[in-house]
Amino acid sequence: MSSVTSPTPQVSLGRRVKRFMSDQPLVPLIILLIALVIVLQILRPGIVNERWLANTVKFSIPLALLAGSQTMTMLTGGIDLSVSTVATMAAFIMASQAAAHGAPVAVLLALLPALLIGIANGIGAGVFRVHPLIMTLGTSLIGAGCLQVYQRTVIATGTRIPDLFTWLGTGVTWGIPNALALFIPVAALILFIQKRTGFGRLLYALGDNEKAARLSGAHYWQVILALYVFSSLLAGVAGLLYVGLIRAPSSLSLAEPLLLPSVAAAVVGGTSIFGGRGGYTGTIVGALILTVLTTLLTILQMPEGARRVLFGAIILLVTAVYLRITEDR
Amino acid sequence: MAEQIVTTQPVLDATGVAKNYGAVAALRNASLSVLPGEVHALMGANGAGKSTLVKILTGAVRPSAGDILIRGKPLDVRSPAQARRAGLVPVYQEPALIPDLDIVSNLRLTRTPVEPFRNWVRELGVPDLDLDDLARDVPLAILRVLDLARALAVQPDVLLLDEMTAALPANLAERVLDVVRRQAAAGRSVIFISHRFVEISALCDRATVLRDGETVGVVDIEPGVEEKIVELMLGARVDRSRPVSASQVAARQPGEKPRLSVRNLSIGTKLNDVSFDLSNGEVAGVVALEGQGQDELFGALAGSIRPAGGTIEVDGRAVRFGHPADAIQAGIAYVPGDRAEALLMQRSVRENIALPFSARLRNWGPIGSQRERGAVSKAIERLQIDTRAQGEVQRLSGGNQQKVTIARWVAADARTILCFDPTRGIDVGTKQEIYKLLRELAGQGKSILFYTSELEEVRRVCDRAIVIFSGRVVDILPVEIADEAALTRASYGLPRGAAADVGILADAAQKGAGAP
C-alpha cells in the first residue's frame, strides 16, 4: 500500500485519504464525535466538564447495549425490532418481582421473557425464514400486549428497583459512571464473539454470502437461533440497567424511545444493514455520537418538532457521507 | 426443394457479427442466413458464441459490429420488443412467463391474441389449460409449451427455439417437433438450437456451426452429417498433448472399496440412472455440454440437492445427504463453478479459507487453535495465493480467488473434492497451477471429480472421463483415448465406434488410442 512518502504522483491525496479511511473506518467517526463536542463547547462554553462527560457516558450505555443487539443481527443482514419491548418487559418484571422475591430471583424472572422472545425470533427467522424485520416486529407487539395483561395482575404488589441497579444506573465513583462496570465486560464479550470466535465468524459469513456459508457446512438456523437469543438477552440486560438510570419502573414504554436510535447507532457506526460489514466498536462510537447530538439539539432550545427533523437529517447526512469516505471501490 | 430454397431471398441474414466485452471477444465473425420455410440448426460447443449470437438477434445485446438484414432490409435491433415487431420471436430455455401473474395477464403483457394461443396450446398437446391459473402453479414442462404457444400465436416469420425439447417428456417433445415441421411447411422459418443430433437430423434442413465466435460452416443435413459437424466444431485443433500421468486406478488394490460409488442416481427430469465409481487417488473428469444434468449430479453429491432415486456410497457405506454439512462430514467438499457462490467477498483470505473450521456447532467457540492457523497458512503457501491484498477477497484477481475456493478444502483436508469447472475465466498460469495441484492431491490418495468445459483439460488432469448427455452417462473413456475429438463426439451422444470409417476424426482417434 502506498504511504505518504510514496513517489507515485498519480495517487491523489483524496484517494490516499479514502484508502486510509477504508482501512481505518473508526477514524472519521471519532473525528466527528470530537467535532460535535467542540461545537457544543463553543455554543455553550463550559458545558463540557467532568459531570457532563459522566452523564453522556451514562446515557450512552443503554443505547449502546441495545445497539449491540442491532449490530449483531445486522451482521447477518437481519435486525431486531423487539429489543425495546424486551428491555421494557425485563425492567418492569424485575421491578414488580423484586419486592416479593428479592433481586436475584427477580432478575432471573425478568430475563425469562427475553429468552422466550429470542427463541421465537430465532425459530421464525432461522427455521421458517420469516424476514427478521417482520418476525421481531410481531414478537415485539405480542410481548407488549402480554406486558399490559401482566401489569393488571400485579398492580397491587407495587414496584421497587433494587439498589444494585440504581447504583449501576445513576452512580458515579471517582468521576467514573458505575454503569461501566457492567458495560465494559459486556462490550468485551460482544467484541470477543465478533472477532475471535467461530460463531462470530459465521455471523459475518452468513451476512456476506449465505450460500458460501452453507457450502462450507454451516447450518443457517442454528446460527440464527443462537444469534436472536443472544440479542434478546442482551436487550433484557440493557432494560435492567436502563430502569436503574431512568427510575420509572412502572412505565410500559420505558425503552421504546431507544428503539430507532439503537438502529441508527449501529448504522452510523458503520454496520451495513445488508450484512457482512461492521463491528461493535463503531457502534459504541455511534451511540456516543447520537447522545452528544441529542444534547446539542436540546441546548439549541428548538421546538421539539424541529429538533426531530434536524436529528433525522443529520443521521442521514452522516451515514451517507460516512459510506462515501470509507467505501474503497 | 433445395433448388427452390436457394433462389429465394433469406428472411434473416446476419453477417460479420461481432461482440466484444472489454478485451474479450465473445463473437468475432458470426454469420447466419435463414431462408423462408427452413428449419435451421445453430450449433457450437460450449462457449462457441451461440448464446451471444442469439442475444444479438433478439435485441437483448447490441453487437459491436456486423449487419443484420431482415428480408433484405437492414435492421437495427435495439430491444427485444423491436425484434418481435420485425417478426423474430425467441423461446428461451428458461420459462419467460411472470410467475405471479395468471396466464391471461401474461399474454396481455406481450399483446398476444388469446384465441390463437389457446389453439396452439391444444395443438401442442395440452387440452385442459385454465388461463386463470397463476404461471407459478403450472409445471415446468407445460410452461415451456406455453412459451412456445405464445410465440406461435403472433405468427412470427422467424421462430427461435433454444433447447426447446430439453425439459419435455417424450410425448410433448414429439408434438413440438411436429408443430415446428408444420411451421416450416407453411413457409415460416425456425432457428433451432439443440445438442441432440437425433432431433436435428429429423427436423432441420441446414445447420450453421460456430466455433470460437466464428461461423465455420453451413452444412445441409443429410445422413452422416454428424461427423462433419463435429469436425467443424473441433476445427484443426488436433490434440497432441500427452496425458500428464499414467492412470493410477490400475494400481488400486483388488478388493478395495471405491471412495465414492454412485448407482442409478436420478433427479427429476435432469438426471437419469447415473452410475459410476470414483477411486482413491483418482481424478475423474466429467464432460458434458451445458445443462445435461451435471449441475444436478454435483449438487446431489455435495448434499445440496436430494436425489429422487438411486444410491450414493462413500467407502462402501450408503449415505443420504440432507445438507452440505453431511457431505463435508463424509469428507466430500464442493467447489462451485461460480466463485461468487463460494467466497465471502468482503472478508479476508484467511477467513475465507478457515470458514469450514467454524461451521460446526462444536467449533463455535474461541478461534485460534494452532492447528487451524497452521493449516490455513500451509494451504496459502501451497497454492501460492497472492495475499498482498488480503484484506478483502474481492480485491484479488480471478485466479487468486479461484485458488482460495480450493485452498479452503486443502486446509480442511477433504478426502474428496468436487471441482466444477475450476479453470473457467482464469489466466493460463493459474490454470497450470491448478492442474498440478489436483494431480498432487490425487497423488496423496485424495479423489477428485472434475467437471470441465474445456475438453483439453481432460488429458492434462484426469485419469478417466465420464461423459454425460441428456442426464445419462453415455460413455466412460480412459484418458488414453479421451482426446477432444472423442470427447466432443461422446458429449453429443454419438457412439464411440462409428468414427472408424470417417476421415479426419478416425485418424485423430486412432492416433490418440495408439491403433485400436
User: How high is the ipTM of this complex?
Assistant: 0.81
Alpha-carbon gap, residue A210 to B283, rounded angstroms: 29
Which grid coordinates are listed for B153?
400465436
Whether A329 has its CB under 8 Å from any CB of chain B: the answer is no
Tell me whether residues B351 and A201 touch, CB distance under 8 A: yes
Distance from CA of A226 to the nearest CA of B (A): 10
Report the pLDDT value the prediction gives residue B513, as an integer from 0 to 100. Answer: 43
Which grid coordinates are listed for A281?
466498536
Pairing type for strands B88-91 and B158-162 reads parallel
Distance from CA of A112 to the nearest CA of B (A): 24
Least confident window among A207-216, B42-51, B351-360:
B42-51
Domains of chain B, start order:
2-234 (3.40.50.300), 239-331+416-426+447-516 (3.40.50.300), 336-358+367-414 (no CATH)
Report the pLDDT value the prediction gives residue A9, as an integer from 0 to 100. Answer: 47
Angle at B490 between CA B485 and CA B492, to 5 degrees: 100
Report the pLDDT value the prediction gives residue B124, as an integer from 0 to 100. Answer: 86
Residue type, A226: A
Residues of chain B contacting A212 with CB distance shorter than 8 Å: 341-344, 355
Q: Residue B182: CB partners within 8 Å, gap ≥ 6? A: none
B514 pLDDT exceeds 60? no
Which grid coordinates are listed for B455?
475438453
Residues of chain B contacting A206 with CB distance shorter than 8 Å: none
Tell me whether residues A276 and B364 touch, CB distance under 8 A: no
Distance from CA of A20 to the nearest CA of B (A): 13
| C-alpha distances in Å from residue A3, one per residue of A13, B332, B388, B448 | 11, 44, 15, 44
Distance from CA of A284 to the nearest CA of B (A): 22
Tell me whether residues B361 and A209 touch, CB distance under 8 A: no
Helix (H, G, I), strand (E, B) or coil at B297: helix
Residues of chain A contacting B389 with CB distance shorter than 8 Å: none
* Residue in chain B lying closest to A198 (CA): B364
Alpha-carbon gap, residue B7 to B317, rounded angstroms: 66
Tell me whether residues A216 and B355 touch, CB distance under 8 A: yes
* Residue in chain A lying closest to B394 (CA): A329
> At B332, is the pLDDT very low, low, confident or very high (cuts 50, 70, 90)?
very high
Cell 453429443, residue located:
B492
Q: What is the CA radius of gyration of chain A?
A: 21
Q: Residue A13: CB partners within 8 Å, gap ≥ 6? A: none
DSSP collapsed to 3 states, B249-263: HHHCCCCCCCCEEEE
* Residue in chain B lying closest to A214 (CA): B324
Query: What single string gives the DSSP state of each residue in B187-245?
Result: T-EEEEE-S-HHHHHHH-SEEEEEETTEEEEEEE--TTHHHHHHHHHHTT----PPPSS
Which grid coordinates are listed for A316?
442521514
Tell me whether residues A199 and B364 touch, CB distance under 8 A: yes
Helix (H) / strand (E) element for B152: namely helix B140-153
* Residue in chain A lying closest to B325 (CA): A217
Cα-to-chain-centroid distance, residue A31: 20
| C-alpha distances in Å from residue A118, one per residue of A111, A136, B55 | 10, 9, 50
DSSP collapsed to 3 states, chain A: CCCCCCCCCCCCHHHHHHHHHHHCCHHHHHHHHHHHHHHHHHHCCCCCCHHHHHHHHHHHHHHHHHHHHHHHHHHCCCCCCCHHHHHHHHHHHHHHHHHHHCHHHHHHHHHHHHHHHHHHHHHHHHCCCCCHHHHHHHHHHHHHHHHHHHHHHCCCCCCCCCHHHHHHHHCEECCEECHHHHHHHHHHHHHHHHHHEHHHHHHHHHHHCHHHHHHCCCCHHHHHHHHHHHHHHHHHHHHHHHHHHHCCCCCCCCCHHHHHHHHHHHHHCCCCCCCCCCCHHHHHHHHHHHHHHHHHHHHCCCCHHHHHHHHHHHHHHHHHHHHHHHCCC
Whether A212 has its CB under 8 Å from any CB of chain B: the answer is yes
When the candidates are 3.40.50, 3.30.1070, 2.50.20, 1.10.3470, the CATH number that belongs to A51-326 is 1.10.3470
* Residue in chain B lying closest to A215 (CA): B324
Residues of chain A contacting B329 with CB distance shorter than 8 Å: 217
Distance from CA of A210 to the nearest CA of B (A): 9
* Residue in chain B lying closest to A204 (CA): B347
Which grid coordinates are listed for B365?
467457540
CB of A70 closer than 8 Å to CB of A265: yes
Tell me whether residues B341 and A212 touch, CB distance under 8 A: yes
* Selected residues 48-77 of chain A with any CB under 8 Å from a CB in chain B: none
Distance from CA of A272 to the nearest CA of B (A): 12
Report the pLDDT value the prediction gives residue B23, as an integer from 0 to 100. Answer: 67
Residues of chain B contacting A23 with CB distance shorter than 8 Å: 391
Alpha-carbon gap, residue B489 to B420, rounded angstroms: 21
φ, ψ of residue A103 in degrees (nearest 5) = -65, -50
Tell me whether residues B345 and A205 touch, CB distance under 8 A: no
Whether A197 has its CB under 8 Å from any CB of chain B: the answer is yes
Residues of chain A contacting B346 with CB distance shorter than 8 Å: 204, 208, 276-277
Whether B394 has its CB under 8 Å from any CB of chain A: the answer is no
Tell me whether residues A204 and B351 touch, CB distance under 8 A: yes
Whether B413 has its CB under 8 Å from any CB of chain A: the answer is no
Report the pLDDT value the prediction gives residue A135, as an integer from 0 to 100. Answer: 94
Sheet hosting strand B464-469, strand order edge to edge? B332-335, B416-420, B447-451, B283-287, B464-469, B472-478
Alpha-carbon gap, residue A51 to A64, rounded angstroms: 20
Distance from CA of A218 to the nearest CA of B (A): 4
B250 pLDDT exceeds 60? no
Distance from CA of A32 to the nearest CA of B (A): 25
Cell 411472470, residue located:
B98
Higher pLDDT, residue B293 or A24: B293
Mean pLDDT by 10 residues, chain A (329 residues): 43 71 80 90 85 89 94 93 93 85 86 94 93 94 91 74 81 84 93 91 92 92 95 94 82 85 89 86 92 87 84 84 70
Residue B442's nearest CA partner among B201, B317, B278, B199 is B278
B190 pLDDT exceeds 60? yes
Q: Averaged over B209-221, what is the pLDDT?
A: 87
Q: Averaged over B80-84, what is the pLDDT?
A: 82
* Selected residues 257-296 of chain A with any CB under 8 Å from a CB in chain B: 276-277
Alpha-carbon gap, residue B16 to B30, rounded angstroms: 5
Burial level of B34, CB count in 10 A (0-12/13-18/19+)?
buried
B209 pLDDT exceeds 70? yes
Whether A218 has its CB under 8 Å from any CB of chain B: the answer is yes
Which grid coordinates are listed for A91?
425492567
Which grid coordinates are listed for B276?
459410476
Report the pLDDT value the prediction gives residue B5, as an integer from 0 to 100. Answer: 46
Least confident window among A116-120, A321-325, B187-191, B268-272:
A321-325
Report the pLDDT value the prediction gives residue A10, as an integer from 0 to 100. Answer: 57
Least confident window among A141-155, B403-417, B422-436:
B422-436
Burial level of A326, CB count in 10 A (0-12/13-18/19+)?
buried
Alpha-carbon gap, residue B112 to B110, rounded angstroms: 5
Per domain, the residue ranges of chain A are: 51-326
Q: For B393, which DSSP code?
A: G
CB of B26 closer than 8 Å to CB of B74: no
Task: Centre a 10 Å sphere on the Cβ of residue A2 and count the other Cβ atoms it contains.
Answer: 12
Residue type, B229: I
Residues of chain B contacting A204 with CB distance shorter than 8 Å: 344, 346-347, 351
Average pLDDT along chain B: 82
Report the pLDDT value the prediction gives residue A329, as an integer from 0 to 100. Answer: 47
Report the pLDDT value the prediction gives residue B333, as an integer from 0 to 100. Answer: 93
Share of chain B above pLDDT 70, in %: 90
Least confident window among B130-139, B291-300, B458-467:
B130-139
Residues of chain B contacting A192 with CB distance shorter than 8 Å: 366
pLDDT digits (tens, 9 = 90+) for B9-36: 888 888 889 888 776 778 888 999 999 8
Distance from CA of A278 to the nearest CA of B (A): 11
A·B CB contacts under 8 A = 94
CB of A218 closer than 8 Å to CB of A266: no
| C-alpha distances in Å from residue B292, one per residue of A45, B46, B47, B296 | 76, 12, 15, 9
What sign does the dihedral B54-B60-B66-B67 (CA atoms) show? Answer: positive
Pairing type for strands B472-478 and B464-469 reads antiparallel
CB of A126 closer than 8 Å to CB of A118: no
Least CB–CB distance from B345: residue in A192, A202, A208: A208
Tell me whether residues B344 and A199 touch, CB distance under 8 A: no
* Selected residues 18-47 of chain A with any CB under 8 Å from a CB in chain B: 23
Whether A254 has its CB under 8 Å from any CB of chain B: the answer is no
Distance from CA of B308 to the nearest CA of A (A): 21
Q: Residue B127: CB partners within 8 Å, gap ≥ 6? A: none
